[in-house]
Amino acid sequence: MSSPVQADPLTKSIQSRRLLFRELARPLRLFSNITPNWFGSIMGTGVVANAAASLPLQFLGLRAAATVIWAVAAILLVLLLAATAMHWIRFPRVARTHHLNPVMAHFYGAPPMAILTVGAGTLLVGQAVIGLNAAVVVDTVLWSIGTALGLASAVAVPYLLFTRHEGADDSAFGGWLMPIVPPMVSAATGALLIPYAPAGQARLNLLLGCYAMFGLSLIASFVVIVQIWSRLARHSVGAAAAVPTLWIVLGPLGQAITAANLLGANAHLAVNAELARALELFGVVFGVPTLGFSLLWAALATAITARTARRRLPFSLTWWSFIFAIGTNVTGMSALAPHTGSIAIAVLADAAYVVLVAVWLIVASRTFHGSVIRGSLFLAQAAAANAVPTAQAPASAVPDGAVPVIAGSREHCDRGGQQQQSMTMPLG
């Protein structure tokens, strides 16, 4: 076990005079640890805008605020893509290890979802700024890129999990859903493009393709959710820093409700009236029971998070798990409400949006302080590692602001499976 490298007095003096990035010894350190989980911040910011545009009960100023938030998400996406490119150019050895990390690898699902979220926002609220035609073109391009990357992550990351990563009975966590949820996001956001696709086979294939991705992601998500439930029942909650990832379970559930209802609403544009009616009814028949389980999981996740927070819940990038998960359930309820005529679901959607905005403001402000002001978020893997407890160990054993990251692959870990080498990522 090693200790963090201490800066010399001159470096400390220079850092103390900075207004921004105070804890970075050199500017280039900004790009040394741009890991894929950073894209969770784009997902979270983008869904705040998209959810606002779809709320069943609108109010004055909401659309304007959503447009501003979408613009922020779009700018951040460009900046983060540029930072990621710089990370690969200047720190290629570090960049090439992300996919071998059994925790970080799963967050390769975040970049495609960030791209898809910003693309959908362009069509939903961005058209007021750039015009409808331009918005359709931008969304089509971003949807195509995000879908291709999302399908790749849905295959590549589970393949690595099955063949390269060393696992244990208590390995399952919310992050396992990250690489398999992007196709569900493609299904939900692709539904928005159906009215603009050429009539005929192109529109029909888009509809059917979205339903295929809906099924791909839904069934795979159910498999993982069962394993997460089993891990919680058999091995307890685990490290405090990993608790926010429990909220990721709400992501595929809410996004599935959104996709089923948006696809059903636009099915009449691509198929005959009888089939279109059946698909629209499917959105309700599927959506209401799924919403019930989603609310159950939300209650469990809230109770576990509150219990952990009373002991200490260190801030980290995993806090963005709260945002996208709540946001997808807002969009799901917003899509479900008009099909059921339920005022209760409509009110619940708006109430959940208020919670979403409140949590987003907290997480966004703390991320801004930890990245732009302090710069500590960019030092995540540069800091020396301490041993991270297993799921059975007490949460207090995790250092403040650290996220457990299990390091190694089947080639580097003990094949007997008795013990894994671990490290922590101080994230704020």
Structural domain 34-413+420-426, CATH architecture: Alpha/alpha barrel (1.50)
138 phi and psi angles, rounded to 5 deg: -60, -45
- Which tokens hold the place of 122? 């362009």
* Predicted confidence (pLDDT) per residue in 296-320, tens digit: 999 999 999 999 999 999 898 999 9
Closest CA to 186 of 212, 204, 155: 212
Number of alpha carbons in the 13 Å side-chain half-sphere of residue 241: 25
Q: With DSSP H G I counted as helix, E B as strand and the rest as coil, what are the percentages for the chain, rounded to 5?
A: 75, 0, 25
State the pTM of this model: 0.86
339-369 burial string, b = 16+ CB within 10 Å, else e?
A: bbebeebbebbbebbeebbebbeebbeebee
* Predicted confidence (pLDDT) per residue in 231-251, tens digit: 999 988 888 888 999 999 999
pLDDT in tens, the chain (428 residues): 344 445 555 555 555 566 788 888 777 778 888 999 999 999 999 999 999 999 999 988 999 999 999 999 999 999 999 999 999 999 999 999 999 999 999 999 999 999 999 999 999 999 999 999 999 999 999 999 999 999 999 999 999 999 988 878 788 999 999 999 999 999 999 999 999 999 999 999 999 999 999 999 999 999 999 999 999 999 888 888 889 999 999 999 999 999 999 999 999 999 999 999 999 999 999 999 999 999 999 999 999 999 999 999 989 899 999 999 999 999 999 999 999 999 999 999 999 999 999 999 999 999 999 998 988 888 754 332 222 333 333 333 333 333 334 334 444 443 333 333 333 333 33
